[in-house]
Every structure is written in structure tokens, then in C-alpha cells.
DNA sequence: TAGCAATGGCTAAGCACTTAGCTATACTAG
DNA sequence: CTAGTATAGCTAAGTGCTTAGCCATTGCTA
């Protein structure tokens, strides 16, 4: 069953026969798979009035454990985005009443973001359905295949991080 | 060697022990790996004054073969973006002199985008280094492991596309 | 063949990210 | 202690995407 990536590879083979484009089979499919997964996850998020970036912030706060307080810097590291992107996300979340900001008593520069009761309820409701959606995406893979996939992804991640 | 995803899983285990979050190990790492790969590829693109989206358009034109003409609609399908995003990319590329637009003689509604000579030279120069970067990312995987990875990704892609 | 839905391409407006640059607090070295 | 540097958080400006909506042409159908 030829897919989009297969057709692309055939085109390259015809136009640039001297170039071995086999890495595209792997890397190209990785990107496209990630996109397809993201768009599937977005469906579940939308049922709760969320998107991936909002879910990310709320989920990070939830899994930090009681009292559900995290610094903006930690949120940025975790979500792999800039600190200014975090500030903007928090502005929106705060105006929706899902998080609150307070000064960090131990560091005059710092802020601590906390889940409000409404934020807590929302992420608590969305979490299990989200994980369930993820589970359906990998349902076709055995435990062993899942472990294999994780191992291979880790090695590519390491290679990508290495010389960046 | 515990990575970021491992730490996240530990946090969930502590906060939500009743929830089986093992799907996150797979899906979460997939997303993060794709991000890490994208940022590594961006380094090579930048050496040629490109980014991934510009490269995508020029590469699509090149691999279409002579006379290197493609409709905006086909570019949109290929890049998995909206037709308006294509129009905006083309506006920039045209003002940089890398592509040209002409009416489609066979369809009064249509436009055909063509590589200019400068665009041709640029993508021709950037292509091989880009593939080489991709190759270094998967250099740690044997041919067999690469094939395994492609197969697993295809199955997740299929699952994601299935009920979207 | 006239009418109407579908297709192709575009601009406008809105949104979320980026980098640049600001302020304030904390750390470190002389 | 004080000067210089690093850290934390923020806003402003710029970029590239999205959806909404427009116009022109095509193709189907009654």
C-alpha cells in the first residue's frame, strides 16, 4: 500500500537517481506521523474546549502534584517553548480563570503558577479521555513493538540533540 | 538513561497511580523526537537561507521533474497546509525571485508555479546536504531497524488517519 | 442551455509562536 | 560592600499559520 511518502520517494528516484534519498523514508514519515497524531489528539482536546498547548500547561501543573504550583520557567522547559510563549499562554489561562499567578516567596524574581479549582476540574476531566485516545493510536502495536519503537525514537532523538 | 519523557511518566505514576499512562511513553516521545529532528534540520536549511516551509515548496517543484511546474493546490496537498498558506509562501518566494506564477492554459481558474533559474540553483544546492543531515540522524540504525521503524510509524499513521 | 454547486486561488483578520529588549532580583568575585 | 553577570518574567514587534470570505471559471444536471 503506497502512501504519500512512497510517491515522493518515487519522484526523487526519477528526478535524482544518483541521490540516495532513503533517509527521507524514515525522517519524512516521522514528521508526517507526528502531524497526523497531533491532529487526532486535537479532536479529543476540542471536546473539552482545549488545544494541545493549553492541555500541556494544565497537565504539567497537575502532574507536579499538590499544591499544583510550578514556575513559568519550568513550564517553558517542559513544553519546549520560549518563556515569552509561556507568559502569553498564562495570560489567556488566567483570564479564563484556569490558573493563577503569585509571587514566589523564596525568590523575589520568581512567579508561581497554580491551578485554580476550575482548572483542576477541567484537566482532571480531560486527562483520561486524552490518554484513551493515545491508547487507540497504538492499539495495533504489541507491547514489544511499542518498546522497540520507543527505543528507536530515543536513538534518533539522541542523534538530533547531539550536534544541535 | 532517563530522559524528559521518563520523568514525566514518573510524575504521572505518583499523581495518578490508577491511570495507565504508558501510551504517553510512545506518543509523547514521537512528538518530541519529531520536534528535535525538525530543529536539527533547520540548521542545515539556514545555511542556504531557507527554512523547512520554503525548502518544501522548492523541493516539491524540483522533484516534479521538468518543466518544474506545479499548481498551488498540489503544493497545498503535498505540504499538508491550507491553500492560503501556499499563496502567502508563493508571494514571498516570488518576490525573492525563486518561483514564478503563470496562468494555466488548460484551466482558466488555475495557476502554475514554476522554479526560476535561481530557485533551481538554490534547491539543487541545498538538497544533497539536507539528505545528508537526515542520514546522520538515522546513522545509528541498521537498515533492518530503519525498516522496522517505518513499518511501525505507518501503522500509527493509519490509526490516526482512520477516525479523523 | 441555464442554473448552481464545486474548484482554484487569493486577501483579510485573528492567533500563537519567535526574537529582541526591558526591568527587577539574585549570585559571585574582587 | 560593590560591580558585573546571570536568572526570571514580561511586553512589543514580526512571521507564518489558520479560518472566513471573495471572485472567477468549470462542470454537472435538470
Considering only CA atoms, name the residue closest to the C1' of nucleotide D7.
A109
**Distance between CA atoms of A96 and A1, rounded to whole angstroms?**
46
CA of B106 to C1' of D30 (A): 28
**Which of A153, A154, A159 has the highest number of chain B CBs within 10 A, making it the mutation to test binding with B?**
A153
**Is B115:B61 a contact under the CB 8 Å cutoff?**
yes
Here the CATH number for the domain that contains residue A83 is: 1.10.10.10
A112 located within any domain:
yes
How do residues B12-29 score in pLDDT, each as one tens digit? 999 999 999 999 999 999
Q: Are A111 and A74 in contact (CB under 8 A)?
A: no
pLDDT of A164 higher than 60: no
Of chain A, the percentage scoring pLDDT greater than 90 comes to 93
pLDDT confidence bin for B1, thresholds 50/70/90: low
Q: Say if the Cβ atoms of B14 and A65 lie within 8 Å.
A: yes
Per-residue three-class SS string for chain B: CCCHHHHHHHHHHHHCCCCCCHHHHHHHHHHHHHHHHHHHHHHHHHHCCCCHHHHHHHHHHHHCCCCCEECHHHHHHHHCCCHHHHHHHHHHHHHCCCEEEEECCCCCCCEEEEECHHHHHHHHHHHHHHHHHHHHHCCCCCHHHHHHHHHHHHHHHHHHHHCC
Judged by CB atoms closer than 8 Å, whether chains meet at A37 and B136 is answered as no
Share of chain B above pLDDT 70, in %: 98
The CA distances from residue A162 to A12, B46, B47, in Å, are 29, 18, 18
Residue B91 region, left (φ>0) first, then alpha (ψ -120 to 50), else beta?
A: alpha
How far does the CA of residue B90 sit from the closest CA of chain A (Å)?
21
> pTM of the full predicted structure?
0.90
Q: In the predicted model, what is the mean pLDDT of chain B?
A: 94
Nearest residue, CA→C1' of C12: B84
Nearest to B123, CA basis, from B106, B98, B105: B98
What is the spatial distance between Cα A79 and Cα A73, in angstroms, rounded to a whole number? 10
Spanning CA of A110 to C1' of C24, the rounded length in angstroms is 10
- What confidence tier does A163 reach under pLDDT thresholds 50, 70, 90? low
pLDDT of B58: 97
Q: Cα-flanking dihedrals φ and ψ of residue A4, to 5°?
A: -55, -45
pLDDT of residue A66: 87
HEC assignment per residue over chain A? CCCHHHHHHHHHHHHCCCCCCHHHHHHHHHHHHHHHHHHHHHHHHHHCCCCHHHHHHHHHHHHCCCCCEECHHHHHHHHCCCHHHHHHHHHHHHHCCCEEEEECCCCCCCEEEEECHHHHHHHHHHHHHHHHHHHHHCCCCCHHHHHHHHHHHHHHHHHHHHCC
pLDDT value of residue A42 = 93
Averaged pLDDT, A11-37 = 95
Average pLDDT over residues B84-112: 96
| B87 lies in some domain | yes
Average pLDDT of the residues in A98-127: 95
CA of B5 to C1' of D14 (A): 33
The C-alpha cell 525538525 sits at B38
Q: Which residues of B touch A14 (CB under 8 A)?
A: 65
- Contact assignment for A159 to B139 by CB distance below 8 Å: yes
Residue B28 within any structural domain of the chain: no
Cβ-defined contact of B148 to A153 (cutoff 8 Å)? no
Nearest residue in chain B measured CA to CA from A12: B63
How far apart are the CA of B148 and the nearest CA of chain A, in angstroms? 8
Give the pLDDT confidence score for residue A36 in this predicted structure.
92
Q: Which residue of A has its CA nearest to B163?
A: A40
Domain count, chain A: 1
d(C-alpha A65, C-alpha A119), whole Å:
14
Between CA B103 and C1' D27 the distance (Å) reads 20
Q: Give strand letter and number of the nucleotide nearest A87 (CA to C1').
A: D10
B83 in a structural domain? yes
Whether the Cβ atoms of residue A76 and residue A83 lie closer than 8 Å to each other: yes
For residue A12, the model assigns a pLDDT of: 96
Q: What's the pLDDT score for residue A4?
A: 86
Q: CA nearest B19 in A: which residue? A: A128
pLDDT for residue A82 is more than 60: yes
Kindly determine whether the C-beta of residue A85 is less than 7 Å away from any atom of nucleic acid strand C: yes
Task: Report angle CA B48, B72, A18 to the nearest 5 degrees.
Answer: 50
Tell me whether residue B160 is in a domain: no
Mutate to test the interface with B, among A7, A19, A22, A27 (most CBs of B within 10 A): A27
The answer to whether residue B133 is domain-embedded is yes
Question: Of the candidates A12, A148, A163, which has its C-beta nearest B63's C-beta?
Answer: A12
Give the total residue count for chain A. Answer: 164
Q: Is residue A2 included in any domain, yes or no?
A: no
**Strand C at less than 7 A from CB of B104:** yes
Separation of alpha carbons A6 and A11, rounded Å: 9
Domain-embedded: residue B1: no
Q: What domain range is B129 assigned to?
A: 50-155
pLDDT of residue B6: 93
| Region A152-161 average pLDDT | 93
The pLDDT, as a whole number, for residue B163 is 57
What tens digit of pLDDT does each residue of B36-65 get? 999 999 999 999 999 999 999 999 999 999
Amino acid at each position: 500500500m503506497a502512501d504519500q511518502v512512497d510517491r515522493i520517494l518515487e519522484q526523487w528516484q526519477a528526478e535524482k537517481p544518483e541521490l540516495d534519498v532513503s533517509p527521507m523514508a524514515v525522517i519524512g514519515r516521522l514528521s508526517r506521523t507526528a502531524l497526523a497524531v497531533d491532529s487526532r489528539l486535537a479532536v479529543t482536546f476540542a471536546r473539552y474546549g482545549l488545544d494541545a498547548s493549553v492541555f500541556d500547561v494544565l497537565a504539567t501543573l497537575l502532574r507536579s502534584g499538590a499544591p499544583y504550583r510550578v514556575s513559568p520557567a519550568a513550564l517553558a522547559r517542559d513544553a519546549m517553548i520560549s518563556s515569552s510563549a509561556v507568559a502569553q499562554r498564562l495570560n489567556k489561562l488566567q483570564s479564563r480563570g484556569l490558573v493563577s499567578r503569585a509571587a514566589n516567596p523564596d525568590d523575589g524574581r520568581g512567579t508561581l503558577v497554580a491551578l485554580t479549582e476550575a482548572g483542576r476540574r477541567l484537566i482532571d476531566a480531560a486527562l483520561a479521555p486524552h490518554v484513551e485516545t493515545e491508547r487507540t493510536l497504538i492499539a495495533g502495536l504489541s507491547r514489544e513493538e511499542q518498546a522497540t519503537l520507543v527505543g528507536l525514537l530515543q536513538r534518533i532523538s539522541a542523534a538530533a540533540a547531539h550536534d544541535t
